Structure 1
Amino acid sequence: MKRATIYDVARQAGVSHQTVTRYLNGFEGIRPTTRAKVQAALEELNYRPNGAARWLRSRQSNRIGILAHRMELSGPGRIVAGATTAARSRGFVLDIASMDGEDGVSVDEALDVIMEHQIAGVFATAQTDVVRAAIAERGLDIPIAMDSAEGLSSTSLNPRSLPGALAADHLADLGHSRVAFVNGPRVWIAANQRREGFIDVAAQRGLQVVWEYEGDWSAESGYRSAQELPAEVTAVAVANDSMAIGLIYGLDERGVRVPEDVSVIGMDDSPESRFHLPPLSTVRLDFEGEGAYLMNMLIAKIEGGDIHEVPRYRLPELVARGSTAVVRPANARS
């Protein structure tokens, strides 16, 4: 038997399909008589799209608003992808509003967009304190998901600093002593935390961080950093894979070989990193798992579920490939 559509429901109730859609989305401004007609038509036709059954039982909206910052980057894009898959499997639909997470006005405008709808919760890719402050100032009375650090609470280290710590340990294990760090924008929380992990472990392992550079997550900024890399450096840790790939390209233009002259390790394990020449050593982050974890935490809060039963996601892990190697005695460049 063919499933009923919203157009079938609209004809049965004698209303427009837009009215049926507004009813299913939790819009309150529908006259009681019209609401009763739509309700009756839904029941008569046994209309049950994803999430509609929940709405009919509990009057709880099945829409979640997402504030998305820099989705063109591998990390944020994969977090939202994981969140979207988790939401869809639970019968929720998403309203996504793009924002500039470094601009408070942009965050406010994105919040205005998603708050125009009847939403059950807010999911924010909160890479900056600007985003967190803007949301806090709103004093929203609906569940919010921003920080997934508790999803990695099985480690004694700060989970956000673990990628930098793993990179420093790897370079120390290879015998490097004079190293550099290429970071993302320091306005980003992840950039600060990855640097913190790298600097702390470098100090513990006796590495000298002789040079640092602040990029913008792009391969272009990694390429620019290669033009300034001091000759004494034998290894570079880079806060994401895109900048690491740009750095390697820039070093090649200077006649500096990777890993023979300089070892390079990135962070993220972006899909293209293992296909680079040489294949990029990196720290794998479970972005999709993080997005699913955050979304399932949010849905547990919305539905009054037990947040402690939400499955954790994977810890960062080292992926050693061809761009890092044991330091050579005469490895420093002139």
Structure 2
Amino acid sequence: MKRATIYDVARQAGVSHQTVTRFLNGFEGIRPATRAKVEAAIDELNYRPNGAARWLRSRQSNRIGILAHRMELSGPGRIIAGATTAARSRGYVLDIASMDGEDADSVDAALDVVMEHQIAGVFATVQTYVVRAAVAGRRIDVPISIDSGEGLTFSGANPRSHPGRLAADHLADLGHRRVAFVNGPAVWIAAEERRSGFLDVVAERGLELAWEYEGDWSAEAGYRAAVELPDGVTAVALANDSMAIGLIFGLAERGIRVPEDVSVIGMDDAPESRFHLPSLSTIRLDFEGEGAYLMNVLIATIEGEDVDAVPAYRLPELVRRGSTAPLSAAGR
């Protein structure tokens, strides 16, 4: 019989796993009714905190090293925010080492920094193939978590390609047939996978990919793409929201209306995308949930808990707003 985990206790008590962790750490600010539910669940499940974890804490090995790349971008920054919240709720302290994920020497230097300290594990935001190769090439004697789509389980496409598939399906459903795609840097794993998902649906649904452009995730890149966008394209998908906002601005300077002349959809659901004019259609990604999932997997590994019991995070989902509209035979 598998030993109960804090996630089992949380489900039994009807509370979050953070509440269970606070209870186990002796936090006094838990309401009596909640405390009673947690105590009852612990007794019913015969839950016992992991001895190895207590040993780690007693030796002050409750630090986790984070390798961070491009934290100013919406996705990486929100992944780290979710991971930080999850680690703090489990009593861990984070050492963050910033790196240039497109420079192997920078990645090695960041690894050197975190490995100099007594750490229980490493959390790496592997946004590029350079980081993936550098981490794989190093001997790391503590558990390591590498961000991925492993927290998403569903039949069909690679979870990382799902945003591109959703964007292409949305444009096809609106009747668009001649479409374009603006991607992030090719060295980024997410860029390749979002493009792959988009192209898969383009082929499956008989669309024409009329034009592609490689940007750098910035609004400026989207603006530059707008200058070069060829005539006859009725819809553009972009691999993040910042580039989509820049594209809309650039199209406006050319006298091209969104969505009347060209529909535009981004990816990420960055906070500002809702407040643009027109408001940006996008693919919502659960970055905070991904960060929390990966950190909880890492901590479960450190503490000898059942990794499979860590709750998954949410699937990408379409957020339809004002920047996409059906293809109008009269207006196009």
Quick check: TM above 0.5? yes
Bigger Rg, which one: 1
Q: Which residue of 1 aligns with 2:110?
A: 110
Aligned counterparts of 1:154 and 1:299: Cα–Cα separation in 2:
24
1:181 matched to 2:169? The reply is no
Q: Which residue of 2 aligns with 1:159?
A: 159
Conserved 8 A contact 1:234-1:331: no
Label 1:207 to 1:115 Cα distance change in 2 as closer, same or farther (>3 A): same
Aligned counterparts of 1:181 and 1:309: Cα–Cα separation in 2:
38
1:261 matched to 2:261? The reply is yes
Label 1:116 to 1:231 Cα distance change in 2 as closer, same or farther (>3 A): same
SS in 2 for 1:151: coil
Alignment of 1:1-334 (within 5 A): 54=54, 59=59, 61-332=61-332
Q: Which residue of 2 aligns with 1:22?
A: none
Output the amino acid matched with 2:152: L
Aligned counterparts of 1:307 and 1:97: Cα–Cα separation in 2:
26
Conserved 8 A contact 1:54-1:60: no
SS in 1 for 2:68: strand
- Structure 1, unaligned runs of 5 or more: 1-52
After TM superposition, give the deviation of residue 156 of structure 1 in Å. Answer: 2.3
Aligned counterparts of 2:253 and 2:67: Cα–Cα separation in 1:
39
Output the amino acid matched with 2:265: I
TM-score (norm 1): 0.82
Label 1:56 to 1:123 Cα distance change in 2 as closer, same or farther (>3 A): closer
SS in 2 for 1:279: coil
Aligned counterparts of 2:56 and 2:175: Cα–Cα separation in 1:
63
Output the amino acid matched with 2:146: M
My pick for the range that moved more, 189-198 or 153-162, is 153-162
Aligned counterparts of 1:117 and 1:272: Cα–Cα separation in 2:
38
- Structure 2, unaligned runs of 5 or more: 1-52
Conserved 8 A contact 1:168-1:201: yes
Aligned counterparts of 1:319 and 1:159: Cα–Cα separation in 2:
17
Q: Indicate the percent of aligned positions where both proteins have the same amino acid.
A: 79
The CA deviation string for residues 84-119 of structure 1, in whole angstroms up to 9 with x for no partner, is 000000000000000000100000010111111101
After TM superposition, give the deviation of residue 267 of structure 1 in Å. Answer: 0.2
SS in 1 for 2:327: coil
Aligned counterparts of 2:54 and 2:240: Cα–Cα separation in 1:
41
My pick for the range that moved more, 143-152 or 87-96, is 143-152
Output the amino acid matched with 2:285: L
Aligned counterparts of 1:148 and 1:155: Cα–Cα separation in 2:
17
Conserved 8 A contact 2:147-2:291: no
How big is the alpha-carbon RMSD for the aligned residues of Structure 1 and Structure 2? 1.3
Conserved 8 A contact 1:148-1:293: no
Aligned counterparts of 1:157 and 1:135: Cα–Cα separation in 2:
26
Output the amino acid matched with 1:189: I
After TM superposition, give the deviation of residue 258 of structure 1 in Å. Answer: 0.1
Aligned counterparts of 1:330 and 1:60: Cα–Cα separation in 2:
69
